[in-house]
Amino acid sequence: MRWKVNIGVGILALVLLGLLGVWLSAPRRLDAGAEPRRLLAPWSVHLEEVDLALATGDWARTAEAWTNAWTAAMASGRWEPLIDVGDAALRVGDATGTRSIGRAKARRAYQAALYRARAQRSVDGVLRAAESFAALGDRNVTEGALHMARKLTAGDASARAQVETDAARIAARVVTP
């Protein structure tokens, strides 16, 4: 009898995962003025909602929209939306007077972006994450990310030279909070 319950729970879990997939891939409202890349990005709709809620001072709506953006960014499998969501966390923290919480959420998003970019062998993604950590004032993680970028360009002299140029610029921008 117990195996029937386990099968039932498994089927229910699969149905719920399927519904989540359908929801994440559902078409979103179109904005004629938006760039095409953002029209295809479900997280960007939620980020627009974050900014609208911030503008109106609706903190509950802001928190819900940011959470939805985080979920969509994680589901995307890409590093770019995680950087956008991290940037939004900083805006939310500044606007709501919860700067330390916003920074913690941004750090988590930037970390996820960094690991994804490294896994995808995206030098641009690793450098963008390094810039984000530099803006947070995290010298150690910034230097670690720059090291990752250098390793990704091993064997390509021109790419390595560009990384060194970018690394110098990024390292100089590390701010102390």
**Which CATH number covers residue 67?**
1.25.40
Distance CA 14, CA 20 (A): 10
Q: Which domain holds residue 117?
A: 42-172
The reply to whether 11 falls in a domain is no
pLDDT, mean of residues 157-170: 92
pLDDT of amino acid 33: 47
- To the question of pTM greater than 0.85 for the whole model, the response is no
Q: Cα separation of 117 and 86, whole Å?
A: 15
Does residue 26 lie in a domain region? no
Q: Is the pLDDT of residue 130 over 80?
A: yes
In a domain, 10, yes or no: no
Q: Is residue 137 part of a domain?
A: yes
pLDDT greater than 70 at residue 37: no
